[in-house]
Amino acid sequence: MKLYRVILAVASVALAAGLGVGQDSAQPPSPGQNAGGQSSTAQSSPTQTSPPPESTSPDALPAAPSAVKTEKRTAPPPAPATPPAAPPQSSPAQPPKNGATQASPGKGPDLGAPPDSDISATIVRRVNEVPVVFTVTDKHGHYVKDLHRNDFLILDNNQPPAAIRSFTRESNLPLEIGLLVDASNSVRDRFRFEQESAIEFLNQTIRMNFDKAFVVGFDVTPEVTQDFTDNTELLSRGVRTLRPGGGTAMFDALYFACRDKLLKTNPGGLVRKAIVLLSDGEDNQSHVTREEAIDMADRAGVIIYTISTNVTGSPDRGDKVLQRIADATGGRAFFPFQLTDIATNFQEIQEELRNQYMIAYSPADFRPDGQYHTIELKAKNHKDLKVRSRRGYYAPTQ
């Protein structure tokens, strides 16, 4: 009887133990909780039981690309205060939450590139290029528009360039134009007609959202009556604001327009920078010389067109000055015989600005020493063609 009661007690204990195991396996812990109901970074699989204690080491975990097995870990001992502990490494069996890519310790955030992608660093190097805008005309003064790179010979300080970087027929480059109007007493009697001709030129030349211009009147000092804008109405107002009077500081006005206006815009950009100078060429108030004004135009990459207001019919000293300024910068000098010719001269300048070439080259043995380089540009096998460009430039300095 006693033996029977012992057997019955053992069977009851075994049955109770079996029921407890069935309840645990039927209700797995929810994701993000361990068996004790506490939060855990490891997720359990509803179809697999926890591995035995001896297999919980990370090295013993098998690779599981499609499922993550439950892993029991004891809390690590607290890290010493000094030195600080290295950031914990993630386990191979624990992918980042929400599919995010974890950044490596000590590095910036990962931008989502796959681990095996080839990310190349961008290397920026300085390329010394000299852009030259030029015009080609035949013996009758007509523009020649169909030439190619091999039709030209260019020399930099009497040496062929190391390489020709680009060559284009530039009929549609943006324009940056400075209109400089002599407002001294010497032009008072014809000033109103000059104003109207200049306004018509700006209205026909400046395109909205593409070109821009500014207006400077000068007598003893230069005065900006309208700063850079593509609004022809504002430019016209700036021209009409000019009033004649005082002496003439033409070289100072040129120097100012090149240094303070055109030199500071679009460095190295593909634009045509030009000044249209309306004056009699007489200067009696400037602090800089004619050659200093030309040098500043070279530094700013500016072409200067001059229109003489001397309509006496006989060239004078001022006309020679205007010719020198235009020739040195690759521009053109106009000498009207009567006032009505000034409007025609403005139209010719507009046409020339739309019919030019641009060549960019790398000089041989280039040195960033700030020295002046001469430019000689010719049309090969076309002796009857005339090429007009700036005659030199200043090398940049480091």
The 10s digit of each residue's pLDDT in 291-301 is 999 999 998 98
User: Cβ of 125: how many Cβ atoms within 10 Å?
Assistant: 4
Number of H helices, E strands in the chain: 7, 13
CB 213 within 8 A of CB 206: yes
Q: Give the model's pLDDT for residue 281.
A: 93
Judge whether residue 241 has pLDDT over 90: yes
How far, CA to CA in Å, does 162 sit from each of 166, 167, 317, 362?
13, 15, 41, 6
pLDDT band at 37; cut points 50, 70, 90: very low
Domains of the chain: 126-171+356-398 (2.60.40), 174-354 (3.40.50.410)
pLDDT tens-place string over residues 194-220: 899 999 999 999 999 999 999 999 999
Rounded to two decimals, what is the model's pTM? Answer: 0.66
pLDDT > 70 fraction of the chain, expressed in percent and rounded: 66
Strand order in the sheet with 392-394: 152-156, 372-379, 392-394
pLDDT band at 69; cut points 50, 70, 90: very low
Judge whether residue 226 has pLDDT over 50: yes
Beta-bridge partners for 218:
182, 222
Which residue carries 């660093």 as its tokens?
121
pLDDT band at 271; cut points 50, 70, 90: confident
pLDDT band at 310; cut points 50, 70, 90: confident
Q: Give the model's pLDDT for residue 7.
A: 52
pLDDT tens-place string over residues 92-106: 444 444 444 443 334
Q: How far is CA 25 from the centre of its chain?
A: 67
